[in-house]
Amino acid sequence: MAQITLKGQPIETVGELPPVGSIAPDFTLTQVDLNDISLADFKGQRLVLNIFPSIDTGICAASVRHFNQLASSLQNTRVLCISADLPFAQKRFCGAEGLDKVLMLSSFRHDVFGSAYGVTVKTGPLRGLLSRAVVVIDQNGRISYQQQVPEIGQEPDYDSALQVLN
């Protein structure tokens, strides 16, 4: 399990992110239209998984905005913004913000995602939500970058994730 903090207080996740070089664990998540989508649907594309606790927090919203801005300049790359939020909340947020370059996905009916990627928060007040992490999957389905953000209240390292894609 990963040891991270929330406002300086230790919390734990159910596991660790998949290591760089490993095959990305399969997943199924729910889109804002309530249809499910899986990793296989993105075969041959590079993916950025922007994983976070809730769209209704400032840092999470900032990461979605930032990745939406970056997404249009990335070749053969989809940015998936993943949280346990209901798809209705994700759709409302993106509509209000005019964000259309990222794909919002929910783990609300697919808790296997959080376990497979080791990002479900196991202890503390955010228990059951997803931790803040970034995972880059190459076009062959292998993990090429991963970051478990050590303090859940800080933004991910966008530059390091992008370096892998350039």
Positions marked active-site: 60
HSE-CB of 84 using CA atoms within 13 angstroms: 17
d(CA 49, CA 146): 9
Residues 56 and 85: beta-carbon distance below 8 Å: yes
Helix (H, G, I), strand (E, B) or coil at 68: helix
Classify residue 61 as exposed, middle or buried by CB count within 10 Å of its CB (0-12, 13-18, 19+).
middle
What crossing angle do the helices spanning 58-71 and 87-97 adopt, rounded to 10°?
Answer: 60
